[in-house]
Structure 1
Amino acid sequence: MKVYLLILSLFFCGISFAQNTITGSVTDSKNESIPGANIIVVGDQSGASADFDGSFTLKTDVKPPFTIKVSAVGYQSKTINVTSASQKISVVLSDEENKLDEIVVSASRTPERVIESPVTIERMGIQEIRNTTAPTFYDGLENLKEVHFNTSSISFKSINTRGFASVANTRFMQLVDGMDNSSPALNFVLGNLIGVSDIDVANVELLPGASSALYGANAFNGILFMNSKSPFTNEGISTYFKYGQTNQDAAGTNDYVDFGLRAAKAFTKHFAMKANFTFTRATEWIAADQRSMTGGSVGHANNQNYDGLNLYGDEVTTFISNVGQVSRTGYREQDLTDNKVKNIKGDFSFHFKPWANDTEIIAQYKVGLGSTIYQGANRYALKDFIMQQGKIEVKGKNFFARVYATTEDAGNSYDMRFAAWNVNRAAKSDTEWFTNYATAYQLSGAVMGTNATESAAIARNYADYNKLPAALVPLPQFATAPTGKPRFEPGSAQFNQALAKVVANPDLTQGAKFIDQSKLYHSDVNYNFKDMVDFAEIQVGGSWRKYIMNSDGTIFTDYDGPIDYKEYGAYTQLTKKLLDDRLKFTGSVRYDKSQNFDGNLSPRLSLVYSAGESKRHNFRVSYQTGFRNPTTQDQYIGLDLGPFALIGSAEENLDRFQETQPVSPAGQALPGNGATVNLSGRNAYENAYTVASVQAFGASGNTADLQVANIGLVKPEEVQAFEVGYRSVVQNDLSIDINAYYNIYNDFMNTARVISPYYGTAGTDSTDPAVQLSYAALALGDRRVYQVYTNTTAEISSLGFGVGLSKKVYKDFELGVNYNYAQFDFDQSEDPSFIAGFNTPKHRIKGSIGNSNVTKNLGFNLNVRWNTEYLWQSSFGDGMIPENTVLDAQVNYAFPKLKSVLKVGATNLFGKDYLQVIGAGAIGQQWFASWTINP
């Protein structure tokens, strides 16, 4: 905080510089302001950006006369001669439907028009950010073509493009000012929890396909670029305040607050500074899905083995002779967390332009902290987490070089499933609870003649609360009261004390806390030789990365200290225009090598042809490859989740993971066995049967049903992506964007469940004594379930296409509609245990209508989204996501004299709660009012 105060004080200090200050305004032919218009001094670095009412202030050391260039998306650029510092400049720009002429950088790492991009690209600029119907610009990305959200929390939303994505979307990359803001330990993006503020974002670019040829390993199914404003061109102090309410069936109505402050100052043309601060507070979309994960009825009243999806503790289950399978009583998710979401983001940066050219040196620091919910194999309450990034970057017209570090601290985060298990065990051990249940169940039927349902109710009441019907109290079996305490009721002092103790303990046999202080170091460089080579534009670049996993053994097998490994890559690209600049060829190739795997080559070839007299009909075709290295979890996780354990498949990890399990009394009687058995990760990968075959064996007793699980160690997955597209503007203002793709995946990464016997050797030779011993282990229940990481042998393909249209239908009313189709295909018989996890609707339609100038200073926008139902698959739970339609809307009004805009909006207007993720909270309604001051 002291650092922030120091920086802010610098912005307000009374230092003055010998600069010329030019003021003016930018409007269109209807005298409406053009916010975000760019003003630059021709031949100099000086520049400015028009605020929301079109006014601007330009400071420059250049003395008049000089020339400025004024440009804005959707308008023809204009140059103006400035003859004196006191000259009041009024610029009128003519309309031009040139959305496809917007300049993007991400597709080819060089500035190019959208219409010339070799691949599909989506863009959100200042005007679209201002007009979004969502509470934040990041939430508004959901209205872009090709984008589908997987919402784990009101503040944690994962972007899904082209499928195969869960909440932990490790196939998607997100860069903020060039920095990958994925979690170092978990390797996926935490939404915008450490990103860009609404008032600091300059533009957003999205590539929905494979981009490994330029961006490396994790740009597999898409990449998002968020770029912030420069303090040289966007000065001043800006702020916003949002207040609203959320409404959900499970959570009710709750307040939503969001505040942001931005301060930027160019002290000279050589030095500028910027700082941002945002604070958000809300109530979670409560996860309250009670469907039974074990089949049967909902609730223990009619299902003694009930395991509710969002109830935890009832996963602890055992088989009781003459009773059946029985589970403990669980706790609701909302009982195990306060359901409050908080996010604080801050950043500051120093910008130097030491020479007369455009070279800039940037030193930047970013921090994000708060609380949210993350869903992986379990549901995790991320409490008081903190993630930090620091960067040094040097960039110029044709190059950049940057190095940055990302660190994270899980704070007081914990696993809610383990929290429930161990709060239950704090009251009564599992052994005592199930013994109490079995005793009361059997005696109630024998003594009182109760049926199975009534006996189950009596047994659960006794196991939970030590209470019995009067007829059973005199029995000698109940003469001694149970040593365990009654079940802790949510909200009671005993429950709160037990929960506080459990979530502070990182030993998962007694607690639920996980520790994560992992780090990531990254550097990358790029140089464009376009000013040195005439026949083509040639780029070269490379990157280096180091992961350091540090979980103190609570996530990874780093019991004896942090684990680290490295990756590096290099690429080159050639771009050449032919046939009177109508044909644009782009070819690139990248080589990447990870410490634990063989290297990968990723080529990309594309052709863009511009037809028509004005070159407005643009056809493109591309072939590119992508690959993804196994994540840190895929390689080094070693996490005991109770019913099963997650085991990473790095060769050294198989020996790093060690555990001890108790052998059944019958198993101890077998030759060579003891009371316990020591297991390692090699049991999971080298001595196991498939889950399906063990289930079949359990039902039939026939050992011929058993199949050995042949699990290979995980290796990088690859995709070959073919894409065609067409972009154009016809009839002056009808924009068309059509694309289709076909992807072929090889060595697709997969998780599988296997069952390893405690003793014996997994095999099919029934005459082998060691194999016979494994059969006995399975029959006696002396077995361990593991979830392992590997690659499927099946060939998987996906295809899709999209159509986007936009047109001004009446005056300045803009109508847009887009449609996306997506599907995947593979032969299940090639890999019966493969779980695709495509998690994407086959059909999606999005529409919008808006007008930023309905009347002077008044604008509105409306978005609607519809998708068909689809299957959700993940390690937490599977199920169908129903079809849903969502309507969002906003109205905004500008107050030029106050330099401010008032916006009122609502999401899921008139709709019911809807799901995007099985296991996460249903998404309710949210309305908000925001006041933005941007002088």
Structure 2
Amino acid sequence: MFKRQLVMIVFMLCAIPMFAQVLKIKGVVYNEYLEPFYNAKITSGSNSAVSDINGNFEIAIKGALPQTIEISAFGHQTEYVDIEREGQKINVILKENLLLDQVVISASRVPERIIESPVTIERFGLTDIRRTSSNSFYDGLANLKGVQSREGSYGFKSINTRGFADFSNSRFVQMVDGMDTAAPALNFSAGNLSGVNELDINNVEVLPGASSALYGANAYNGIMLMNTKNPFDFTGISTVFKTGYTSQDLAGDNLFYDLSARLAYKFSDAFAAKVNFSYFEATEWLANDENSKLIDSNEIVNVIGDFRPLDYDGVNIYGDEFNNSISVQDIGRRFFNVNLPQDARIRRTGFAERDLLVDDKSKNLKFSTSFHYRPFKDESLELILATRLAMGDNLLQGNSSRFSQRNYYIGQSKFEVKGDNFYVRTYYTRNDAGRSYNLDITGALLTARSSAGNTLGSWGVDYLIGLNDNGVDFNNLTADPDILQAAREYADSFTLQPGSPGFNTEFENITSTLITQGGSRIYDRSSYAHIDGNYNFTSLINDWADVQVGGSFRQYNPDSKGTIFNDGTQPITVSEYGVYSQIQKKLLDNRLKLTASLRYDKSQNFDGNYSPRFAVNYALGEDKNHIIRASFQTGFRNPTIQEQYLFNQPGRKINVGTSKANLDRVAIGQDITLNVLGVPTVIDGVISGDDIINNSLLTETVFTDFTYVKSEYEEIKPEEVQTIELGYRSMFGITDTNNINVDINGFYSFHNDFVFFQDIVTPKLGQVYPFGNRQLTPEELADPLIQAGNIVDGVLVWDAFAQYAFTNLGPSGELLVQEFNIVTNSKSRVNSYGASIALSTKIFEGFDLGLNYSYIDFTFDDKDNGFFEPNFNTPKHTVKAQFGNNNLFKNFGFNVNARWLDKYRWVSPFVKGYVDSRTVLDAQLNYRIPSIKSKFKIGGTNLLGKEFQVAPGTGNIGSLYYFSWTIND
């Protein structure tokens, strides 16, 4: 009997759980476009499930009804659904977070709502990426408030904020998943050529303005973080194929194609991986800027037919800039016994850019993969091993020339460990210039090898022979244009003709030979290694405040074999490190938020820099959705490796970086034996780095206005900026579909020590003195050597030996002075200021409408004798608008973007000039077929058809029309 009762008790205890109510609830999750939402997480108590590729899910619910289940996905608003009866069918639409509820990380290095950011920030989320009317998400960034896009060529585009940038934009940092994408030799990012597959991008955050307090060196104008999709959250196979054509007057209509694929798989809760591939090929926006660099305007100076003025220096003509290593004045004096005017600039004819390109295609292949391991099967700890590489062909406009990048390669590898409150990552970046070459040098060498075989093998000699044969008056070179044209035609008659066997042979030889060996090819296999980390102490101090510390270390290893850097005989390594801390505290019922940051950075070639930042936010209104903010931020930029160690000679001038480490390597020339004042003397004719800094004259004051001003420029040092910023961000409205988002900000910045290029001339002999430094004493005036020097109004400008150097040739006919283009710091003070406003809303229950306006300008106090002009390169006024509806009717949507940019001035060492105002209209129509998980899009950019330049020397950007087919995005 007891045994029977015991068995019954055990049976009842075991059966009790079976009587507890367990229900199976099924449903479907959709996105805002009513497409199936894959991998949404559904939670009920301790049970969870995910939606499948068709959006379907099934989850077990334990206990009595009613209950609530939670449906969530990264970057989307969480939905809660009440379950009231068995068999209830659930249909859920997940919407991307409202603009002001979207989470950003870059502003404070911790997740926070965008409305609570202590500084101005722009975000480009998944919805923005999907609806963009541009050809790619990266192109679509141009529609963000305060963001400028630099389209240097079809493939090379870069992003900047707050002005002061050309295509070598080393003042703006671009990151992918925490990795700086700057190329090791360039020290600036090559846009998205080495960036992110369009299918893998999750969101983009742009932080305008000085950001060095958290991100260190070079976060001067701002920083952009591109965050990719984690394979734990976004799985499956996605593809997109694009094709269409580009239309440009110069290049005509040409097909392009673009293919991308993404494969991500979650093997378990502990391990996931992804692979990305993309490739595009398109005809370049060809350049044919016929303006002259010398007149610094937009007037075409080809006056009549083929006639070309003496000093014509075409922007996209190469080989006309100089005449080997000897001036036309010297040729005239030595071979024709005539003294040409010192300011006579007789320039060669040269070659058009299109003649110097192997082909006119832009190509880019990108591949990336990453492996993700979560040992505890949650986000508390994740290990990531990733690599990405890119290769292809492209055109690049640099500081001193344009370059044809052929078979370039950029690769990055990363290992990262991150948890709830920390991360440590290390990565390695390397690049290979492949067969890239300098167009200026290529044109110059081709011209130099096109001659009648005269003594110098020089176009200049041929030209002067043509002048002499036609009886020119050498004292009045502009007297008869017909004679000048006849002389030019004579010299050009020996020119190698593009496409001819002789031209092709010389072209191949020049572009395959390194610059240091007499060709135009660039060698670059530079690299850098980086490690950084961050720890957040908030959980250890009971959430009293958000306190974090971090640091970074980087070592550059440039390797150019002397074609770019001064590393022909001695290798270069440069290391830098930084440490920072930030505290963020909320007060007054979380209405007041205070943020304070401080960072210290040290580069081996420069003194250390402190970068503080202070910010205050205050939330107004009952819902705390009206935020005012104020901040003081600082930024600095270490000179790039090029600016520190540059050393090459594309023409008469030698480009030199002026870091002390580089100047210590400089030694140009040799001892010279001269007969000075009747006495044979062996003189040190070697120009050292010290001579470049301390014994030089400003070139223009020697050869143009004859005022002979001594250069007072010093060794290069970092740039610095301090910014005061005010802002307001809010949302007005009651419902999600009827609100207005407002973002207003203004700033004022103080800039010091802008880096720029300055022309100087240095004698190989003698000493120069500061003009006006002192009057000479009677005894000094009686000194024969001083008397033999150059004296202006009783003031010694240079001594006898320097006087001899400026007015004579050496024993072998060499010049005794050397022109340099040094990279140094301006003495002028520059201030910039601006304001912007953005409004966005939904109208008519589904139409998205956005409008933003930006104003930005600068002033500067010239203390550089008129030789410095800031490379602001930004329109004062910019207006951008967006209008669209992703669900105009079932499965059909559209979007339109328009941009108007004011006329602005472009300044770079390569060319200066004006860029016309422009209006650009982009639009797209899309249609979705959920049954085959496909989205079709047809669209176009620059639909108004008026071609435009973003800078003098770049190709005119025409229209682009595209069709795309995306599967399972």
Judging changes above 3 Å, is the alpha-carbon distance between structure 1 residues 658 and 96 closer, same or farther for their aligned structure 2 residues?
closer
Which residue is 2:393 aligned to?
371
Distance in 2, matches of 1:88 and 1:345, equals: 44
Report the residue type matching 1:495 in the other structure.
F
Which residue is 2:486 aligned to?
458
Report the residue type matching 1:124 in the other structure.
F
Which residue is 1:186 aligned to?
186
Distance in 2, matches of 1:691 and 1:213, equals: 39
1:877 to 911, 933, 941: 911
Which residue is 1:4 aligned to?
none
Deviation at 1:435, TM superposition (A): 2.2
Q: Tell me if the contact between 2:936 and 2:964 (Cα under 8 Å) persists in the aligned partners.
A: yes
1:387 to 389, 395, 410: 410
Judging changes above 3 Å, is the alpha-carbon distance between structure 1 residues 451 and 881 closer, same or farther for their aligned structure 2 residues?
closer
Deviation at 1:761, TM superposition (A): 1.5
1:774 to 798, 802, 812: 802
Q: How does 1:400-411 map to 2 (within 5 A)?
A: 400-411=423-434
How far does the alpha carbon of each residue in 1:560-609 deviate from its partner, in whole angstroms, 9 at most, with x for none?
24310111111111111100111111111111111111111111111111
How far does the alpha carbon of each residue in 1:651-710 deviate from its partner, in whole angstroms, 9 at most, with x for none?
1211323444999x9999996688995434333222111233224444xxxxxx211101
Distance in 2, matches of 1:819 and 1:459, equals: 54
Deviation at 1:147, TM superposition (A): 0.6
- 1:399 matched to 2:394? The reply is no
Judging changes above 3 Å, is the alpha-carbon distance between structure 1 residues 46 and 714 closer, same or farther for their aligned structure 2 residues?
farther
Which residue is 1:755 aligned to?
761
Which residue is 1:339 aligned to?
360
How far does the alpha carbon of each residue in 1:316-340 deviate from its partner, in whole angstroms, 9 at most, with x for none?
2423447653222210111101221
Deviation at 1:80, TM superposition (A): 7.4
Report the residue type matching 1:328 in the other structure.
R
Deviation at 1:431, TM superposition (A): 4.4
Judging changes above 3 Å, is the alpha-carbon distance between structure 1 residues 97 and 599 closer, same or farther for their aligned structure 2 residues?
closer
Distance in 1, matches of 2:317 and 2:485, equals: 19
Which residue is 1:56 aligned to?
55
Report the residue type matching 2:806 in the other structure.
L
> How many residue pairs are counted as aligned between the two chains?
880
Which residue is 2:21 aligned to?
none
- 1:788 matched to 2:822? The reply is yes
Distance in 1, matches of 2:208 and 2:149, equals: 13
RMSD between superposed Cα atoms in Å: 3.1
> Counterpart of 1:127 in 2: which secondary structure?
helix
Q: How does 1:705-716 map to 2 (within 5 A)?
A: 705-716=707-718
Distance in 1, matches of 2:650 and 2:145, equals: 38
Judging changes above 3 Å, is the alpha-carbon distance between structure 1 residues 722 and 432 closer, same or farther for their aligned structure 2 residues?
closer
Report the residue type matching 1:521 in the other structure.
A
- 1:649 matched to 2:649? The reply is no
Q: Tell me if the contact between 1:36 and 1:127 (Cα under 8 Å) persists in the aligned partners.
A: no
Deviation at 1:487, TM superposition (A): 1.5
Which residue is 1:353 aligned to?
374
Which residue is 2:591 aligned to?
582
Q: Tell me if the contact between 1:73 and 1:99 (Cα under 8 Å) persists in the aligned partners.
A: no
Which residue is 1:739 aligned to?
745
Deviation at 1:879, TM superposition (A): 0.3
Q: Tell me if the contact between 1:503 and 1:513 (Cα under 8 Å) persists in the aligned partners.
A: yes
Report the residue type matching 2:820 in the other structure.
Y
Report the residue type matching 2:288 in the other structure.
A
Which residue is 1:91 aligned to?
92
Q: Please, what TM-score do these two structures have when normalized by structure 1?
A: 0.89
Q: How does 1:96-115 map to 2 (within 5 A)?
A: 98-115=98-115
Judging changes above 3 Å, is the alpha-carbon distance between structure 1 residues 776 and 24 closer, same or farther for their aligned structure 2 residues?
farther
How far does the alpha carbon of each residue in 1:773-826 deviate from its partner, in whole angstroms, 9 at most, with x for none?
324433457432212122222221110000000121222111111000001111
> Counterpart of 2:602 in 1: which secondary structure?
strand
Report the residue type matching 2:665 in the other structure.
R
How far does the alpha carbon of each residue in 1:115-166 deviate from its partner, in whole angstroms, 9 at most, with x for none?
0000111111111001111111001100100111222111111212001101
Deviation at 1:242, TM superposition (A): 0.4
Which residue is 1:533 aligned to?
541
Which residue is 1:433 aligned to?
459
> Counterpart of 1:280 in 2: which secondary structure?
strand
Judging changes above 3 Å, is the alpha-carbon distance between structure 1 residues 67 and 75 closer, same or farther for their aligned structure 2 residues?
closer
Q: Tell me if the contact between 2:545 and 2:585 (Cα under 8 Å) persists in the aligned partners.
A: yes
User: Of the two, which has the highest radius of gyration?
Assistant: 2
Which residue is 1:701 aligned to?
none
Q: Tell me if the contact between 1:444 and 1:450 (Cα under 8 Å) persists in the aligned partners.
A: no
Which residue is 1:510 aligned to?
518
Q: How does 1:255-274 map to 2 (within 5 A)?
A: 255-274=255-274
Identity of aligned residues (%): 41
Which residue is 1:175 aligned to?
175
Distance in 2, matches of 1:288 and 1:410, equals: 25
Deviation at 1:867, TM superposition (A): 1.3
More deviation, 430-439/134-143:
430-439
Distance in 2, matches of 1:827 and 1:861, equals: 45
Distance in 2, matches of 1:307 and 1:44, equals: 75
Judging changes above 3 Å, is the alpha-carbon distance between structure 1 residues 316 and 579 closer, same or farther for their aligned structure 2 residues?
same
Which residue is 1:280 aligned to?
280
Q: Tell me if the contact between 2:186 and 2:641 (Cα under 8 Å) persists in the aligned partners.
A: yes
Q: Tell me if the contact between 2:472 and 2:483 (Cα under 8 Å) persists in the aligned partners.
A: no
Q: Tell me if the contact between 1:42 and 1:69 (Cα under 8 Å) persists in the aligned partners.
A: no
Deviation at 1:759, TM superposition (A): 2.3
Judging changes above 3 Å, is the alpha-carbon distance between structure 1 residues 651 and 89 closer, same or farther for their aligned structure 2 residues?
same
> Counterpart of 2:55 in 1: which secondary structure?
strand
Q: Tell me if the contact between 1:713 and 1:790 (Cα under 8 Å) persists in the aligned partners.
A: yes
Distance in 2, matches of 1:25 and 1:643, equals: 71
Deviation at 1:63, TM superposition (A): 11
Q: Tell me if the contact between 2:269 and 2:378 (Cα under 8 Å) persists in the aligned partners.
A: no
> Counterpart of 2:292 in 1: which secondary structure?
coil
Q: Tell me if the contact between 2:71 and 2:78 (Cα under 8 Å) persists in the aligned partners.
A: no
Which residue is 1:308 aligned to?
314
Report the residue type matching 1:717 in the other structure.
E
> Counterpart of 1:652 in 2: which secondary structure?
helix
Q: Tell me if the contact between 1:410 and 1:514 (Cα under 8 Å) persists in the aligned partners.
A: yes
How far does the alpha carbon of each residue in 1:406-448 deviate from its partner, in whole angstroms, 9 at most, with x for none?
000000000011111112223337644322221221222279x
Report the residue type matching 1:367 in the other structure.
L
Deviation at 1:538, TM superposition (A): 0.7
Judging changes above 3 Å, is the alpha-carbon distance between structure 1 residues 831 and 214 closer, same or farther for their aligned structure 2 residues?
farther
Q: Tell me if the contact between 1:23 and 1:56 (Cα under 8 Å) persists in the aligned partners.
A: no
- 1:327 matched to 2:355? The reply is no
Residue ranges of structure 1 left out of the alignment (5+ in a row): 1-20, 466-485, 699-704
Which residue is 1:297 aligned to?
301
Q: Tell me if the contact between 2:122 and 2:144 (Cα under 8 Å) persists in the aligned partners.
A: yes
Judging changes above 3 Å, is the alpha-carbon distance between structure 1 residues 157 and 275 closer, same or farther for their aligned structure 2 residues?
same
Distance in 1, matches of 2:52 and 2:168, equals: 39
Distance in 2, matches of 1:398 and 1:384, equals: 42
- 1:914 matched to 2:923? The reply is no
Which residue is 1:570 aligned to?
579
Report the residue type matching 2:709 in the other structure.
Q
How far does the alpha carbon of each residue in 1:230-254 deviate from its partner, in whole angstroms, 9 at most, with x for none?
1112111111100011111221111
Deviation at 1:760, TM superposition (A): 2.1
Q: Tell me if the contact between 1:46 and 1:59 (Cα under 8 Å) persists in the aligned partners.
A: no
> Counterpart of 2:311 in 1: which secondary structure?
coil
Deviation at 1:25, TM superposition (A): 3.3
